[in-house]
Amino acid sequence: MKKKVFVLVSDGVSLRNFAYTSFYKLGIEQGYDVVFWNATPFNLEQLNLKEVKISNAKPSTFSDVLKTALIRIELNLFSKREKDAIYQKYKFPLSYKTIKASVKSLIIECYSKLYNSENGIIKIRKKITASERKTSYYKDCKLTLEAEEPELVLSTSQRALAAIAPLTAAQDLNIPTASFIYSWDNIPKATTVVTTNFYFVWSTYMKKELLHYQRYISPNQIKVTGTPQFENHFDATLKTSKTNFFKAYNLDVNKKYICFSGDDITTSPKDELYLRDVAKAVRSLNKKEYNLGVVFRKCPVDFSDRYDTIIEEYKDVIVAIDPIWKKMGVAWNGILPTKEDYKLQTNIIAHTECVVNLGSSMVFDYAAHNKPCAFIDYNYLNASNSYKKGVHVYDFVHFRSMPSKEAVVWLSKPDTIADQLETVMENPSKTVSKAKSWFEIINVHPPENACNRFWIEIDKLVIK
């Protein structure tokens, strides 16, 4: 009889990491019955993947309050432990715009003060699971698990509130559980919301982080696998020829293109001005007969029109290639990637010379292709042309993993971007070796073997 593994997916990133990579295929090849326990609106059966649909993934409202309190308590404790105020910048401000929002925020503040200790964290976590056990969502999950009898439930995100009820139901039925820390910046941000028997992480660096911040976890619970998110860069079947790709997206085959990778409006509220500055720099370089263009890929969860004026003004330089994501809900986790976009992103990277952005993990995507990255390092103030050097994002803890500042090109002011991009074009390999060293710290290598490492570890965990 095949060993059954339930793979709990609750958002678009999880779909991309596990449904669009080799994860499912490898599991089947190794004799597993792999079932996606699907809490997203996306129909995975269209991709010939086996799924059990979660039709009403509705956590308790009280659990949501407790989760926010938990995160705020942990960030307070991290600040105290590390004697570092940076953790306070991870907090989202509480809302007092309406009576309902104000009541919720006051309750969160109350719990944050009452349970502001190491023991308080444990008590809050217990309260969250107790709250979830009272929901019909938990009861439905428990019935599903009793009927399906999986040997393991793997949550593809450690931060999803919707994952707590299914994982709690599994634990109550003595089914082993695991969760994947899905982003390189998540651990210091106190987003380890779910509690499982085992944790899959990107690297030994991340393992040390998890042990440092979440002191209830022991070393033998943590499995170093890498992340599947970089697998696409090593899959030749996804790549389109330059000629065909340029034709499909109306790119000039005689030009070399720089990718500007957009950020979300919370992280980079003046992102359109950065795009403008890069386009200006490219125009300047083209006067020196460089013949460059900009491929603009906006953040998949940004549906604003804030870039439109800039794209029109610089249409001689900018070609916008939108992500192929589907909006299937109101919240950010209801905006889901398609398999077509998985291929599109691969080809944008393969056919552009470098990437410019504000501090994202795209530096590693380009390092996988032996290509450089430039980080924007100036901050626009209220006026569109008034700025100061530095962006607070780079103060965040995950950037401390960078072994050398020379891993990227730092764009510290608008009027020097042209010179810096010229240096990149003339010597593209200058920063790449240090970027690759950073990549090796952040994610266990070789990166293309992450899914295989997952199944090696899963095989050790399931009940034979």
- Which amino acid would we find at residue 378? Y
Whether 330 is in a domain gets the answer yes
d(CA 431, CA 448): 22
d(CA 164, CA 153): 12
Whether 173 is in a domain gets the answer yes
Q: Are 14 and 117 in the same domain?
A: no
- The gap between the terminal CA atoms of the chain, to the nearest Å, is 10
Helix (H, G, I), strand (E, B) or coil at 5: strand
Strand partners, 36: 7, 51
Torsion of CA 309, 315, 317, 318, to 10 degrees: 60
DSSP per residue over 100-168, as a string?
A: HHHHHHHHHHHHHHHT-SHHHHHHHHHHHHHHHHTSHHHHHHHHHHHHH--SEEEES-SS-GGGHHHHH
Whether 157 is in a domain gets the answer yes
Q: Are 252 and 391 in the same domain?
A: yes
Q: Running DSSP on this structure, what letter comes out for residue 366? A: H
Question: What is the per-residue pLDDT for 303?
Answer: 85
Question: What is the per-residue pLDDT for 94?
Answer: 96
Q: Are 292 and 392 in the same domain?
A: yes
Whether 130 is in a domain gets the answer no
Provide the b/e sequence for 337-356 (b: ≥16 CB within 10 Å).
Answer: bbeebbbbbbbbbbbbbbbb
Question: What is the per-residue pLDDT for 55?
Answer: 84
Strand partners, 318: 294
Whether 345 is in a domain gets the answer yes
Q: Are 168 and 293 in the same domain?
A: no
Question: What is the per-residue pLDDT for 150?
Answer: 97
Q: Are 107 and 218 in the same domain?
A: no
Question: What is the per-residue pLDDT for 266?
Answer: 87
Question: What is the per-residue pLDDT for 340?
Answer: 94
Q: Running DSSP on this structure, what letter comes out for residue 183? A: S
Total number of domains in the chain: 3
Q: Are 51 and 100 in the same domain?
A: no
Q: Is the dihedral of CA 117, 119, 125, 130 positive or negative?
A: negative
Q: Report whether 183 contacts 39 (CB < 8 A).
A: no
Domain region containing 386 = 232-442
Residue with tokens 């065909």: 244
Q: Are 286 and 434 in the same domain?
A: yes
CATH code at position 259: 3.40.50.2000
* pLDDT tens by residue, the chain, 464 residues: 789 999 999 988 899 999 999 999 999 999 999 999 999 988 999 999 999 999 888 999 999 999 999 999 999 999 999 999 999 999 999 999 999 999 999 999 999 999 999 999 999 999 999 999 999 999 999 999 999 999 999 999 999 999 999 999 999 999 999 999 999 999 999 999 999 999 999 999 999 999 999 999 999 999 999 999 999 999 999 999 999 999 999 999 999 999 999 999 988 999 999 999 999 999 999 999 999 999 999 998 888 999 999 999 999 999 999 999 887 765 555 678 899 999 999 999 999 999 999 999 999 999 999 999 999 999 998 777 789 999 999 999 999 999 999 999 999 999 999 999 999 999 999 999 999 999 999 999 999 999 999 999 999 998 65
Task: Report the predicted TM-score, pTM, of the whole model to 2 decimal places.
Answer: 0.95
Question: What is the per-residue pLDDT for 180?
Answer: 98
Helix (H, G, I), strand (E, B) or coil at 90: helix
Whether 278 is in a domain gets the answer yes
- Spatial CB neighbours of 328, under 8 Å, sequence gap ≥ 6: 40, 41, 42, 334, 335, 336
Q: Report whether 279 contacts 315 (CB < 8 A).
A: no
Q: At what angle do helices 164-172 and 118-133 cross, to 10 degrees?
A: 90
Question: What is the per-residue pLDDT for 329?
Answer: 62
Whether 117 is in a domain gets the answer yes
| Element holding 180 (H helix, E strand) | strand 177-180
Look at residues 107, 125, 143 and tell me which one is the last residue of a structural domain: 125
Look at residues 77, 103, 125 and tell me which one is the last residue of a structural domain: 125
Question: What is the per-residue pLDDT for 301?
Answer: 85
In order of 9, 42, 144, the CA distances from 326 in angstroms are 16, 9, 28
Look at residues 72, 105, 125 and tell me which one is the last residue of a structural domain: 125
Nearest to 62 by CA among 129, 157, 137: 129
In order of 54, 220, 300, 412, the CA distances from 162 in angstroms are 10, 26, 22, 40
Q: Are 287 and 351 in the same domain?
A: yes
Question: What is the per-residue pLDDT for 386?
Answer: 87
DSSP per residue over 243-272, as a string?
A: HHHHHHTT--TTSEEEEEE---TTT-TTHH
d(CA 105, CA 234): 46
| Maximum pairwise Cα distance, the chain | 69
Q: Are 239 and 357 in the same domain?
A: yes
Whether 455 is in a domain gets the answer yes
Q: Are 54 and 90 in the same domain?
A: no
Q: Is the bond into 428 cis (omega within 30 degrees of 0)?
A: no
d(CA 311, CA 349): 20
